[in-house]
Amino acid sequence: MTEHPAASRTAGAGATTDDGGESCLNRGFSLRSAFSLAFADVSPIVALYAIFTLGLFSAGPAFVWAFPIVLVGQLLVACVFGELSSRWPYAGSVYQWARHVRGTSWGWVAAWAYAWGLTIALSTLAYGAAGFLLPALGVDDPGRTVTVGAAMAILAAGSVANMVGRRVLKVMVVASIVCEVVGSVGLSTLLLLFHRVNPLHVLVDGFGTQSTGSWLGGPLLVATAYVGWSFVGFEAAGSIAEEVEKPERNVPKAIILSLLCVAAIVMYSSVALVLAIPDLQHVMAAKTGDPVTRTLVSQLGSVIARPLLVLFVIGFLSSFLAVQAAVSRCLWGSARDNALPGSRKLAKLAGPERLPVNAIALTGVVAAVLVLLAGSSLYEVLVNFTTMGFQIAFGVPVVGAAIARLRGKWRPGAFSLGRWGTPVTLLAALWAIAQTVNIAWPRSSMGDTWYLRWSMILTTALLAVAGALVFAFVRKRIKQPLADRLHADGPGAAPAAPTQPVTSPGVPGDVRKGSA
């Protein structure tokens, strides 16, 4: 095998190619690229469109106060992820972080939840993009068959784009980000400057309609659960860590900055929309329809309708590309450790840019199967696991990091919170647990039937049973954690963290073996 020049700079020990060489990802992303991918994964347009109506109808205009609450909690998580990604900058983000900080079973749980949550999200993103694309092309009232067909085409095109190479992915993601930022910020500014019809006090109307205690303990908690879906995806920068230049420094920056930038845009757009909703009292009384599109068309004219649909399509497509890139790296990183059925195939890299083509294809195929279920009750139940999958995958490494700190076994990487590390990590762990309970709590607002209200718990239980069976099947053949393998390979191994070798003094053996 002829080694690519960048291969010697990547952490690729563990999986072998047919000719006996080690499987290595090429460095192909800069800090800007990693930031762009994480930004697109969250996607301000998708984040806002997905939860604005739910938050407005569940907690009134004052639901916007859920955004800063969730932002603070997720920022704590992002800071912990920054430290974890700096210490272990390997492909797979939450899987690698959880495994190295707490052990194989913790890492496997994080990977299982993450893979299912994101793969289900791929199907919803493709189906959502199709729902906007068809009207933008002049197809009015498309039936389910036509929408599913368009979603399948989007899945295929997106998967091919991810397989072609990093350059294509970077160009498409950056172009979509420009459109998203200009569209979101531009439209919101127009609404605030020229189309504000509601006074500022509507943003605190929730406090006046109920006692403060009941609003905080009821509607605001519901809104916080919905808003939680908006501020996830920033960990995508960690999924491609092995492909990022100087990942121990650049990945933490990309994780934190992407969250802050998306949050600023989403909060700005939400306030602008609330203040521009015509006849707000009627909208809140009816609690039906799509207040986002209705407000934009009503205030800016019907001429905005088609460009608005195109903007939504761009947002959903960019998010699809970023989500698939993230979940495929998680699958590839797990397969490299022999932690999945069919690991030999999933761990293969192909093409001049050495991409995990088989892992990308698998996510596309599974998402396509799920799209076929769109419109059914089963699909609605599965879709609800998207948020829960994120929460579990986020919580496992964060709680693991908190345990490591409490036991005094944490050693920082190039990016460190210093003396604030322990309190931030403990608060992040408490937030992750509390938000998981809040999201999973069965509420009438989650659906009219019992299985929709309990869908979070049902899907988690079913996938947990399935995961336990798969883990029992692969457990004995799972390789040592990557950091430990690199340490065992000696000086000739591909370096994992350029500025902090795994064998650096002061790193206890139990940490290197993933049991910190």
Asked whether residue 173 is assigned to any structural domain, the reply reads no
**pLDDT value at position 73?**
96
Instruction: Examine residue 250 and state whether it is found in any structural domain, yes or no.
Output: yes
- Least confident segment among 158-162, 414-418, 446-450, 465-469: 446-450
Whole-angstrom Cα distance, residue 73 to residue 271? 20
Determine phi and psi for 244, rounding to 5 degrees. Answer: -105, 135
Q: What percent of the chain has pLDDT over 90?
A: 51
Cβ 119 vs Cβ 366: under 8 Å: yes
pLDDT of residue 506: 32
The 10s digit of each residue's pLDDT in 234-276 is 999 999 999 999 999 999 999 999 999 999 999 999 999 999 9
pLDDT at 15 over 80: no
Contact between 204 and 275 (Cβ < 8 Å): no
Sequence-ordered list of residues with C-beta below 8 angstroms from that of 35, at least 6 positions apart, any chain: 237, 253, 254, 257, 258
Residue 394 pLDDT exceeds 90: yes
What would the mean pLDDT of 321-347 be, rounded to a whole number?
94
- Residue 226 forms part of a structural domain: yes
AA letter at 121 = A
- We report the CATH number of the domain holding residue 236 as 1.20.1740.10
Provide the pLDDT for residue 510: 38
pLDDT of residue 67: 94
Contacts of 295 (CB under 8 A, 6+ apart): 191, 273, 276, 277, 278
What's the domain count of the chain? 1
| CA–CA separation, 239 and 261 (whole Å) | 19
Binned at pLDDT 50, 70 and 90, residue 90 comes out as very high
Q: Would you place residue 488 in the very low, low, confident or very high pLDDT band (cuts 50, 70, 90)?
A: low
Residue 401 pLDDT > 60: yes
29 beta partners = 244
**Per-residue confidence at 216, pLDDT binned at 50, 70, 90?**
low
Is residue 299, in this structure, part of any structural domain at all? no
The answer, yes or no, to whether residue 224 has pLDDT greater than 60, is yes
In a domain, 90, yes or no: yes
The 10 Å Cβ neighbour count of residue 20 is 7
**Which of 97-101, 160-164, 481-485 holds the top average pLDDT?**
97-101
> Any alpha helices (H) in 137-165, and if so which ranges?
144-164
pLDDT above 70: residue 497:
no
Whether 428 maps to a domain, the answer reads yes
Region 34-39: mean pLDDT is: 90
Position 139 scores a pLDDT of 86
Burial 294-318 (b: 16+ CB within 10 A, else e): ebbebbbeeebeeebbbbbbbbbbb
Count other C-beta atoms under 10 Å from residue 157's C-beta: 15
pLDDT of residue 307: 86
pLDDT of residue 227 exceeding 80, the answer is: yes
Please write the tens of the pLDDT for every residue from 171-206.
878 877 888 788 888 889 999 999 999 999 899 876
Residue 157 lies in a domain: no
| pLDDT over 70, % of the chain | 87
Q: Give the lowest-confidence range in 2-6, 231-235, 340-344, 466-470.
A: 2-6
Average pLDDT, the chain: 84
Position 487 scores a pLDDT of 64
Q: Does residue 287 register a pLDDT over 70?
A: yes
Q: Which domain holds residue 68?
A: 20-130+185-290+322-440+456-512
The answer to whether 414 touches 499, Cβ cutoff 8 Å, is: yes
Position 249 scores a pLDDT of: 93
Is residue 2 domain-resident?
no
Model pLDDT, residue 337: 94
Residue 14 reports pLDDT greater than 60:
no
Q: What b/e string do you get for 401-434 counting C-beta neighbours within 10 Å, with b at 16 or more?
A: bbbbbeeeebeebbbbbeeebbebbbbbbebbee
The band of 210, judged by pLDDT with boundaries at 50, 70 and 90, is very low
